[in-house]
Structure 1
Amino acid sequence: AVSNDDITAIAQVCTTMHYPFITVDPGPLTLAYLSVMRKHQTNKGVFLTIGSVVPIVRQQVAVFEDCFKTHLVKADVLVLLDEVQRHEEKQRIFKELEECMKQSDFIGVVTAKEEDDVLDLKQTATYYGCDLESLSKRISNVLAELTASYLDAHTNKIQALYTSGGDITLGVCQALDSLGICAIDEIEPFTLYGKLIGGQYNDLPIVTKGGLAGNKDTLRHAMSYLQIKLAEKE
């Protein structure tokens, strides 16, 4: 191992072995292994809300999904914006997340995985008769409300949050009645680890990242960091 990501990967592989073993290391591998095993035992995961659609975020998601047991459901933003169809789309997303929760350490929603998934904001804003800023806020709010609804229904199964994009982060804090985030550490520039302040989910760990921040490995790195922090918390 030459990095924390390597250590996490080794720990994950250890869980698939069918014979006894011991970890021999200065501590990080043992901690990472305990973190992975605890997730299997408690069936708790991390919920990700990724609203950013820029290319770097899509690259980060792709690298992340290759390295972790994760399931991100692509939300149909146009349907979520429609008040008549919104409930049905939420139920579709929740059902898919429920089906994969036991097999995934990380679950959540993403608005774009491929370039073709990116919404034409100008065209959509024209359709709704609003400006781009108002449309972005509406999208952030509906994703935040979806996150809050899922968390309310699965409080005992979610142990941390991840949000991508400033508007999404603000919306999620408001939807959860949180006053803000207590900043604890900067994982990378513009990638923050902290805890929610106030509300029903006071002290809930959260990692948040600016939409344009980081490189293709940033999300993978951040989630490796979060796994270690969650293990330390236990």
Structure 2
Amino acid sequence: MPQCVVIADDLTGGNATGVLLKKMNYQAYTVMNTESMDLQALEDCDCVIYPTDSRGVAPEVAYERVYNICSLLKDDAVKVYSNRIDSTLRGNLGSETDAMLDCLGEDYIAIVAPCFPASGRIVVGGYMLVNGLPLHKTDIAIDPKTPVKVSEPAVLFQEQSKYKTASILMKDLMHGKHYLADMMKAHVAEGCRILVVDCVTQEDLDLIADATITSKLKIVAVDPGVFTATLSRKLITPTQKKEKNRILAVVGSVNPNTKAQMEELWLSQLIHNVFVKTRELLESKEQRSAEIQRVIHEILEVSHLNTVSTVTGDGIYPENRIDFQPYMEKYHCSMDDVTDKINSAFAEIAYGIFQAQPEYKGLYTSGGDVTVAVCKRFQTAGLSLSDEVLPLAAYGQFLTGPFAGIHIITKGGSQGERDAINRCITYLKEKLYI
């Protein structure tokens, strides 16, 4: 039987959640007709999605549809139950959540994490924002079928559900998973069965999932799909057993846009960063070698604690920028030769890390010259390109050489919005099932 059951209020939303799960190597099936559904056919899948087409119907009809399908699909083997709701809070949020809670039993509660960071849907201070605007100021407020005129998810659930609702705000998330787990249990002890949690980034969703697991509460995930995928990643082993994988980002670009993107990444995810003292790479062979080994050592020393590590040139800060002219005169070479020394050093750092720690399976490189140097050092003939992560950011794998198959995303240093590198790293996580 599946270990994840997703009951969605519409087909497209259910399929979108299924795609998120598929990206993490889960076998996900969408079932649209219970009468012709053979439960034995679901035995080889990890996740089953059932759309109830209940977004625009009367609340009592939505309740009945969700309750009936939940009764059919519930099983002791299920580790994640999910009520997939609209990303803009349209529909019968309360009655559908009530139906799942009633079906599963009084020891279950609902954790509502209704953000979808990649689509600009976030919840902060108890308010949903869509691309920076409060929900009630968007076109959703005038939706002809299911308008939403309230921007506070907790208010919507309290209005639509028969169960007591509580909010957990961003300030509460700042104290970590154990504090958050204790807060969840305290709300449950006060009689709350629906907890609506602020969430802005994927890192927030990871924290909420970790807190939920720590609390040992039995829950229904209520969200537009990303929280369900996050919780599944932490609780369910795919049919194809996953390996422990890690990601390294190598960033040598000094473009101001790169600085903004790296700072956004460091704020959004748990990252271990080591700055490369770029000037040391040019002073002498001894200093260059020492700096390369220092960075490799600092990454590897704590790599077991970090899924993602970043190696960043200190030149992203203007005060560390190098005047290449003295080095051109010192070594009697061109500017290209000087920058090649820097790029090849970054490549040597990446190679040293991957060689020493086989768990590194994902690589992000910023800047064309750094990418060329990395490919050369890793002895690959080229890249097997598979996808466009975002404009001018390509995903693929090394074709040949001792590191064939390594997943890599390349992007120009000046390209993309502030969240571009964060999105690239998140994409790699999905591909590596992290």
TM range, smaller chain: 0.7 to 0.9
The answer (yes or no) to whether the contact 2:300–2:353 under 8 Å persists in 1 is no
Match of 1:31 in 2: 229
> Which has the higher mean CA deviation after the structures are superposed, 66-75 or 8-17?
8-17
Q: Hey, what's the Cα distance between the residues in 1 that align with 2:235 and 2:295?
A: 27
Counterpart among 204, 212, 215 of residue 19 in structure 1: 215
CA gap 1:35/1:80 in 2 versus in 1, 3 angstroms = farther
TM-score normalized with structure 2 length: 0.49
More displaced, 207-216 or 81-90?
81-90
TM alignment of 1:142-157, pairs within 5 A: 142-155=345-358, 157=359
* Equivalent position amino acid for 1:192 in 2: A
| Cα gap change, 1:151 to 1:24, in 2 (>3 Å) | same
Deviations 1:184-215 (A, max 9, x none): 11111111111111111111111111121112
Cα shift at 1:50: 0.5
* Aligned residue runs from structure 1 range 43-122, under 5 A: 44-81=245-282, 82-112=284-314, 113-122=316-325
Q: Which residue in 1 is equivalent to 2:166?
A: none
Match of 1:180 in 2: 382
Contact 1:35 1:228 in 2 (8 A): no
TM-score (norm 1): 0.87
Amino acid of the residue matched to residue 75 of structure 1?
A: V
After superposition, the C-alpha distances for 1:115-134 in whole angstroms (9 at most, x for unaligned) are: 21222233433333221112
Residue number in structure 2 paired with 1:2: 116
Higher helix share goes to which structure?
1
CA-based RMSD of the aligned residues comes to 2.4
> Runs of 5+ in structure 2 lacking a partner?
1-114, 120-199, 237-241
Give the 3 Å change call, closer, same or farther, for CA 119–29 of structure 1 in structure 2.
same
Which of 188, 200, 204 lines up with 2:406 in the alignment? 204
Query: Kindly, what percent of the aligned residue pairs are identical?
Result: 25
Counterpart of 2:328? 125
Q: Distance in 1 between matches of 2:293 and 2:220?
A: 43
Deviations 1:145-193 (A, max 9, x none): 22112211112x2120010011111111111111111111111111111
The more displaced of 138-147 and 111-120 is 111-120
CA contact (8 A) 2:292 2:345 kept: no
- 1:134-149 alignment runs, 5 A limit: 134-149=337-352
Residue 161 of structure 1 pairs with residue 363 of structure 2: yes
Mapped partners of 1:204, 1:30: distance in 2:
27
Q: Could you tell me whether the CA contact under 8 Å between 1:111 and 1:117 is conserved in 2?
A: no
Greater displacement, 23-32 / 54-63: 23-32
Aligned residue pairs total 229
Deviates more, 1:15-24 or 1:190-199: 15-24
| Higher RCO (C-alpha 8 Å, min separation 6) | 1
